[in-house]
Amino acid sequence: MSSDALLSVHDLRITFDGIEAVRGLSFDVRPREVLAIVGESGAGKSLTARALLDMLPRGASTSGTIEPDLAAHRGRRISLVPQDALSALSPVHPVGDQLAAAVRSVARVSRKEARSRAIAALDRVGIPDAAGKARAYPHEYSGGMRQRAVIAMATINEPDVVVADEPTTALDEEHRDQVLRVLAEQREAVGAALVLVTHDMDVVRDHADRVLVMYAGRLTELGPAEEVLGRPRAPYTAGLLASLPQHAPPGRRLPALRGTPPAPGALPPGCAFAPRCPLAADACRTEEPEPQEVEGRLVSCHRWAELPHPATKLFQAQAQAQERAQEQV
Ligand SMILES: Nc1ncnc2c1ncn2[C@@H]1O[C@H](COP(=O)(O)OP(=O)(O)OP(=O)(O)O)[C@@H](O)[C@H]1O
């Protein structure tokens, strides 16, 4: 574990029925940082996040280490902001009672004190009439308000790490920005690190200090967000960026990154990204690349040095060639 790590994950593997969905992942979470985990659907982002909290789905087996064991103090040292706020709140208790109970689960304070901390926490996340709303049930909150209440719950005991798993997926764009802002403010206020699972590169750009890019259960690239987004070294990262709407050629909605990631049980030999990669060479089809240090970051790619800058055109050219080939069929 590196000396400045708050949490250190080493060779994490998560398996269902003998099939590995997360395949030997190592990374640190540093104090007070925002570490975004990005990648397409199925990359293993949520499983990784849930492993930090020891909240994996039934049937998952794990190996590797996560140290120290913050999950043994879930709710106090590490907490979760899930995708769906309703799953984090009990429908049968007023929100304020749930926050007060969270306070009393870790601190010996009176009911009155816990209640006033609960109201203060709701107020901090921007819930109007916090004292009145504390008496309301989750279903009486709007979606955005509920997600704010969950952020209040996740930060009320001033944890070391907050894990947010696609915290704004269920919200519309306007509420998405607000909720992300509230989350950023609250984690800053309590001095927690934030592990933010997202598939939105704009969210990474706006909020992350470092970014872990995952593909098919492995680390593809890990480094300072500004540098990774400014000049990706892994073709997969470049492909994700080329797929952003602002990089799409005029009049086209198709993402530059064509095809879909392989399912965990159906990985190709070699690099799992090779079948979609415009730079793939023979070695990529036979040997899976290990993470290596490249200019202060980690990159898993045999061909990183060949990636042009900017790489956007490479992916657009590949997408156009594939489109032409399909038109001819
Ligand atoms: N409960 C489960 N049972 C069996 N396999 C699972 C289970 N949960 C996840 N997996 C497998 O692990 C893979 C990775 O899942 P995970 O939820 O971590 O993906 P993700 O990157 O978070 O994707 P998304 O953005 O869609 O949430 C899935 O594609 C699936 O194959």
- pLDDT of 328 reads 75
pLDDT tens-digit series, residues 50-93: 999 999 999 999 999 999 999 999 999 999 999 888 888 999 99
Ligand 1: does its nearest atom lie under 6 Å from the Cβ of 44? Answer: yes
Q: 130 versus 3: which is more confidently predicted?
A: 130
pLDDT confidence bin for 218, thresholds 50/70/90: very high
Nearest CA to ligand 1 atom 5: 16
From ligand 1's centre to the CA of 205, what distance in Å?
24
Ligand 1 atom with the shortest distance to the CA of 57: 1
Q: Where are the alpha helices (DSSP H) in the chain?
A: 45-52, 85-88, 95-106, 111-124, 130-134, 143-155, 173-190, 201-207, 225-230, 235-242, 312-328
Residue 243 is predicted with a pLDDT of 80
- Tell me the two tokens of residue 44: 């293993």
Cα 22 to averaged position of ligand 1 atoms, centre (Å): 9
Q: Whose CA is nearest to atom 2 of ligand 1?
A: 57
**Dihedral of alpha carbons 26, 31, 33, 37, sign:** positive
| Atom of ligand 1 minimally distant from the CA of 17 | 4
pLDDT score, position 3: 61
Give mean pLDDT, residues 136-154: 94
- Residue closest via CA to ligand 1's atom 3 equals 16
Alpha carbon distances (Å) from 196 to 103, 112, 116, 204: 24, 33, 29, 9
CB 213 within 8 A of CB 39: yes
Task: Quote the pTM value.
Answer: 0.94
Q: What local confidence, expressed as pLDDT, does residue 65 receive?
A: 97
Centroid of ligand 1 to alpha carbon of 48 (angstroms): 10
| Per-chain mean pLDDT for the chain | 92
Q: What does the pLDDT look like over 110-138, one tens digit per residue?
A: 999 999 999 999 999 999 999 999 999 99
Ligand 1 centre to CA of 253 (Å) is: 27
How far, in Å, from the CA of 46 to the mean position of ligand 1?
7
Residue 94 has pLDDT above 60, yes or no: yes
CB of residue 137 inside a 6 A radius of ligand 1:
no
Domain range 7-211, CATH architecture: 3-Layer(aba) Sandwich (3.40)
Domain ranges for the chain: 7-211, 231-328
